Structure 1
């Protein structure tokens, strides 16, 4: 894997150390997450964040373990870091950081206090809601180490304040149970019980969200570090509180060994691919329904569109086809009226995408093509055929095959059905009703893929072939635009008219057209000249923009409060996942691609460490934004690098 290592010039500066984030996950949707500097900059940061019934229903438990070193001289040196509502950062423990490294996916910090060097490692126990934090004396000593446990128990998307009841902390052997929800265990527990008021989260302030919360100082652990190699460790876990985990040092060692196995199973060709293979592991989780995919950390849960776009990279490129098979079967069971369930993150199952189901068809076909699993093809074929039948008959949100040309149309007032689905105050920012280019490329790709699956199962595919040929002919006739690229939407409702009235063709330069050249059964042969025009307007070091600069509505910065960010989300903002279809299209056109990876590879050590962000600013220098750890960004880069 790539060497992720920072010295004091990064660790000791908040401008650099507090903008690089690390993540470890438990395989259930929970995680531990923070910054290189140790400063919590998001309300989502914590050492034990626990997933509930769904990966999105997370709760923050153990927030931090703040170290303090008691030297033989009597001096007490605090190594933690908190920012307060006053603007003060106290203590500034990051100033004593000598090094941060990410070794086999396990974060490690080293503080130096004179000749005393103390190291911290942190890992989660895979398949359990458990985190282990190990402190080791590297040089110097003897010293005594104290660890102050700051806690809460709240929804990860919210805050808890001192004007409500204090968390219940009950003493148990070797530590305490907080709110009956999670347990802390370590040496020499001393209860405390005090509110820390006004902890500030600078990233939430920048995102226009409530920036502060109050934390409960539940107590502290302490232990002696007499000689190099001595350790002081703490465990925190939820679930069965009576069942104690293995020792913390064993949890860390097991996590490192498992991470190595994950990488080896992917058979990476180089260190970048190895890094991406481990990054992919964070998104594959086990739920009560079987395997699923977390779309992004720290705030997303499971979304079917993201899952299906990510499928090949997360499962087929990493040696996880067996898990993938179970995921595809479970998702097939959600089909209703020919549509795949989009998400349950909102508290109810939603069917509100035009493309998620088509990506599902693509994922099944790729699974069979890569694995030769014709049994799965035969099993899912009846369900897949209902998708085509429902689209021919018409289903929710005006999604239907236009009988005049065989292309897929969709749209309903207030609905945002494509992946460009941001809305502000209920109004779609990027309305794409009509016949979007990537939706019809996916439809054509899906028809061809389903026809092939049918033939593999010994079924007649004559009708599917006819539908595919008709839609392909119409696509080739309708989507090429006089501009030299493809229309983004044809037969779209004109802006001045209500849905269903006068129509127009939208020729704004967007990246959605890439799928018309990149998919296995793409409707068009790649056009090198068109791809060069697309690159000139859209390509950045972190992937294509969602809209070309100079276009009406273009926004160069994905910043500000929720409305501002949603307004920019698909109006220029860079999406690294789109590098996948761009690379595919370039390869098919015979264009060079090696230099396309340089910016994203460097990005692996810039934002979400070892991973790829959700988005980036459209304007240079293209600062990363959105989720620091995003499934489809990682998956698509991993897929096309193999």
Structure 2
């Protein structure tokens, strides 16, 4: 990216408008809040795991309080938040350090003599609306205020129940203990956790040095841990803040995309940063599903997020560790009905296996991981888990036709859980069958890589039976689409949902014919796809809910999968649209998310949901304010679909099939394959396309299979060796009624063939109009 890291990616929130923000420490802590107000959720503040400790704080300078709602400017950087106040003239720099459970707040003010700080403490399990009991201890010799919070029987041993406050400047403490009854606006809107009672232990007065004071808010399990951390970090905080900034700079420099669409460049960088913030090490590596309320690992969400979170940007080390976490916690109890499954929910003291799809995604992703990395050794380590997973499905959870059976809430549409499923889809959902087909074929390929050809042949044979059963049981010959699921009584369910989309995009090997895919895509576009995303239910259905929050008319669980637009589904929809030559339509969906990252919702990230029907205030986001699979799919489609990069190291090739939106113009980027990387440039002008590839540090020779879609419904395929440090330049120029192809300046013969679409004459862009709701909901 041009210029400095900070200046390129700074997001300034509009005056008078507040946006949520969140930072993590890459282990188990996160800090969230509002840019221009106090907390609007009881979940806001400093949390470690599922334990909240700090709500907020207030500074007073010269007798005037620094109120966040009165800031003149708020600047969000990838590594910190900056608030600028005019009255009193001051600045706050807020940074949650990597690896430490420490929030650093730097206060800077000219002519500041004596200041005061009120900490707002709230030490409790984050999902419990309780009023903790507090112990307060002031240690003047350590310049340290200690607060311990307990919630009776709800306080577990070994939890984070201590909060410390220290400062670079000398402090005095005046005990003024009180609770502050608080209303949380966003919580009130959700009708959950809308009130709280943060605690003020007292007043800390301080005398800054040269107009500066540094404060640390420290979470710990014990008084001793907090005191030790305070001494260590206070001396090294400047270095730690700089290291966080440098780490994020390295992350972006390795995976940056430089197009002529500057907003796309910035949004993609922010998406990578925000997703990186959810790659955590809560005892072992994993991906937080989303914040504020999913500060834990979900097997399904993790598996879906892995491509965008790791291997498309070359983070193979993270990928390997996260796959290992899932495999390590697989259900190995042979008497269990969930034998062979990876966990749906994984916390330090909780493992639940209540999902049918996470395990199938795991197998599919294991193959894609090795396609990018070539890491067969790791696959050998994972392969027993793959065998166990497939064995579990075959022995416990398949019907007479080979289709997977499951509970009513064991798909991703799981609101309400198994006891009270809001969207029951038992007992054979279409995406589960598509994933089962994908898992069998991916498992077969993995079996070949670990020298088990007989097992590979067996799973390939079984996949053919699954394919036959899917077409026979799910294909609607009249409507030319796939039913959403088969009911318990064997009848096909006629609700129109987006899950058949995954039959087009989840398998690494085609499940459907080209014509079937096109028919499904057209069907979905006419029923479910708005310009802002893919709805979870067609609006004509009696169960349809136009907005996430029902304001007393229905619980939000009723809307999650009955109308809400899920941002992660934009990913597979873009994949399907690009595959079928509808690049500009796909770009409109992507641009909606680009604009959201930069201008709306939480700063620099994507949340869980949009309303199907936007509100009058156009405040459209709902659900979590940052969500892993939403971000991951946004990133994935940039690399795999628009830039078109799909390595297959076991086959010694990289397929590159560009489908770059016109708005992006020329593009520079790099991708990682095996243990090397390739710098790439795409150049476009009237009647000419140029593709330049510069391999770096490749440890084995590969070949590029370049597939270029040309006007007139023509596909050009060109195969070229890819050797380390040898630059390749391929140019395609319009020449009379045909095309002239040059490789490294010499004319070459490519393979030309007719395709089913013409990139020069894209179909008319027609999205379904969102339903209009005249009421508040």
Q: 1:165 to 1:408 in 2, by over 3 A?
A: closer
Identify the residue that residue 98 of structure 1 maps to in structure 2: 72
The alpha-carbon deviation at position 69 of structure 1 amounts to 1.8
In the TM superposition, what are the counterparts of 1:190-209 in structure 2 within 5 Å? 190-209=173-192
Q: 1:617 to 1:98 in 2, by over 3 A?
A: same
Identify the residue that residue 512 of structure 2 maps to in structure 1: 524
Identify the residue that residue 550 of structure 1 maps to in structure 2: 540
Structure with larger RCO (C-alpha < 8 A, sep 6+)? 1
Q: Distance in 2 between matches of 1:529 and 1:108?
A: 50
Identify the residue that residue 167 of structure 1 maps to in structure 2: 135
Identify the residue that residue 361 of structure 1 maps to in structure 2: 363
Identify the residue that residue 302 of structure 2 maps to in structure 1: 307
The alpha-carbon deviation at position 181 of structure 1 amounts to 1.4
After superposition, give the CA deviation of every residue in 1:415-459 in whole Å (9 maximum; x if it has no partner).
411010112893211111132111111011111111111112222
The alpha-carbon deviation at position 511 of structure 1 amounts to 0.9
The alpha-carbon deviation at position 202 of structure 1 amounts to 1.3
Q: Is this contact kept in 2: 1:574–1:615, CA < 8 A?
A: yes
Q: Secondary structure at the match of 2:197?
A: strand
In the TM superposition, what are the counterparts of 1:185-264 in structure 2 within 5 Å? 185-186=166-167, 187=169, 188-224=171-207, 230-239=211-220, 240-241=225-226, 242-243=228-229, 244=231, 245-247=233-235, 248-264=237-253
Q: Distance in 2 between matches of 1:597 and 1:366?
A: 23
Do structure 1's residue 121 and structure 2's residue 111 form an aligned pair? no
Do structure 1's residue 487 and structure 2's residue 483 form an aligned pair? yes
Number of positions where the alignment pairs a residue of Structure 1 with one of Structure 2: 582
Which of 141, 153, 156 is residue 123 of structure 2 equivalent to? 153
Q: Distance in 1 between matches of 2:534 and 2:510?
A: 19
TM-score by length of 2: 0.72
In the TM superposition, what are the counterparts of 1:17-166 in structure 2 within 5 Å? 17=18, 20-46=19-45, 48-51=46-49, 58-70=50-62, 76-80=63-67, 93-95=68-70, 97-113=71-87, 117-137=89-109, 141-142=111-112, 144-161=114-131, 165-166=133-134
Which is greater in Rg?
Answer: 2
In the TM superposition, what are the counterparts of 1:143-542 in structure 2 within 5 Å? 144-161=114-131, 165-172=133-140, 173-179=142-148, 181-186=162-167, 187=169, 188-224=171-207, 230-239=211-220, 240-241=225-226, 242-243=228-229, 244=231, 245-247=233-235, 248-269=237-258, 270-288=265-283, 290-300=284-294, 301-336=296-331, 337-345=339-347, 348-394=350-396, 399-400=397-398, 402-403=399-400, 405-411=401-407, 415-423=408-416, 426-460=419-453, 461-481=456-476, 482-490=478-486, 492-493=487-488, 502-519=489-506, 520-526=508-514, 527-542=517-532
After superposition, give the CA deviation of every residue in 1:50-92 in whole Å (9 maximum; x if it has no partner).
22xxxxxx2222222202120xxxxx22123xxxxxxxxxxxx
After superposition, give the CA deviation of every residue in 1:272-293 in whole Å (9 maximum; x if it has no partner).
22111101111111132x2111
Q: Is this contact kept in 2: 1:615–1:624, CA < 8 A?
A: yes
After superposition, give the CA deviation of every residue in 1:295-317 in whole Å (9 maximum; x if it has no partner).
11111121111111111111213
The alpha-carbon deviation at position 561 of structure 1 amounts to 7.2
Q: Which runs of 5+ in 2 are unaligned?
A: 1-7, 149-160, 259-264, 332-338, 640-777
Identify the residue that residue 4 of structure 1 maps to in structure 2: 11
Q: Secondary structure at the match of 1:549?
A: coil
The alpha-carbon deviation at position 21 of structure 1 amounts to 0.3
After superposition, give the CA deviation of every residue in 1:449-482 in whole Å (9 maximum; x if it has no partner).
1111111222211111111122112223332222
Do structure 1's residue 639 and structure 2's residue 636 form an aligned pair? yes
Q: Secondary structure at the match of 2:177?
A: strand
Q: 1:624 to 1:537 in 2, by over 3 A?
A: same
Q: Secondary structure at the match of 2:458?
A: helix
Q: Distance in 2 between matches of 1:477 and 1:389?
A: 24
Q: Distance in 1 between matches of 2:500 and 2:165?
A: 52
Q: Distance in 2 between matches of 1:346 and 1:282?
A: 19
Q: 1:346 to 1:250 in 2, by over 3 A?
A: closer
Which of 582, 587, 590 is residue 578 of structure 2 equivalent to? 587
Q: Distance in 2 between matches of 1:195 and 1:536?
A: 57
After superposition, give the CA deviation of every residue in 1:482-502 in whole Å (9 maximum; x if it has no partner).
223211013x12xxxxxxxx3
Q: Distance in 1 between matches of 2:475 and 2:542?
A: 21
Identify the residue that residue 642 of structure 2 maps to in structure 1: none
Identify the residue that residue 594 of structure 2 maps to in structure 1: 601
Q: Secondary structure at the match of 2:369?
A: helix
Q: Secondary structure at the match of 1:152?
A: strand
Q: Is this contact kept in 1: 2:10–2:78, CA < 8 A?
A: no
Which of 622, 625, 628 is residue 622 of structure 2 equivalent to? 625
Q: 1:390 to 1:62 in 2, by over 3 A?
A: closer
The alpha-carbon deviation at position 346 of structure 1 amounts to 10
Q: Secondary structure at the match of 1:506?
A: coil
Q: Distance in 1 between matches of 2:329 and 2:446?
A: 20
Q: Distance in 2 between matches of 1:50 and 1:611?
A: 21
Q: Which runs of 5+ in 1 are unaligned?
A: 11-15, 52-57, 71-75, 81-92, 494-501
After superposition, give the CA deviation of every residue in 1:151-182 in whole Å (9 maximum; x if it has no partner).
13111122343xx6333334351121111712
Q: Distance in 1 between matches of 2:38 and 2:282?
A: 31
